Amino acid sequence: MSVPEDEERLLPLAQRWPRASKFLLSGCAATVAELATFPLDLTKTRLQMQGEAALARLGDSARESAPYRGMVRTALGIVQEEGFLKLWQGVTPAIYRHVVYSGGRMVTYEHLREAVFGKSEDKHYPLWKSVIGGMMAGVVGQFLANPTDLVKVQMQMEGKRKLEGKPLRFRGVHHAFAKILAEGGIRGLWAGWVPNIQRAALVNMGDLTTYDTVKHYLVLNTSLEENIMTHGLSSNLVGSHTATQ
On average, the pLDDT of the chain sits at 78
pLDDT of residue 80: 86
**What was the pLDDT predicted at 43?**
86
**Average confidence (pLDDT) over 33-58:** 75
The pTM of this model reads 0.73
For residue range 123-160, list pLDDT tens digits in order. Answer: 667 888 888 999 999 999 999 999 998 888 888 777 66
What is the rounded CA–CA span in Å between residue 117 and residue 23?
20
Q: What is the pLDDT of residue 185?
A: 92
Q: Domain limits of the chain?
A: 13-87, 90-191
Look at residue 50 and tell me whether its pLDDT is greater than 60: yes
- Give the model's pLDDT for residue 242: 42
Q: Is the pLDDT of residue 20 over 70?
A: yes
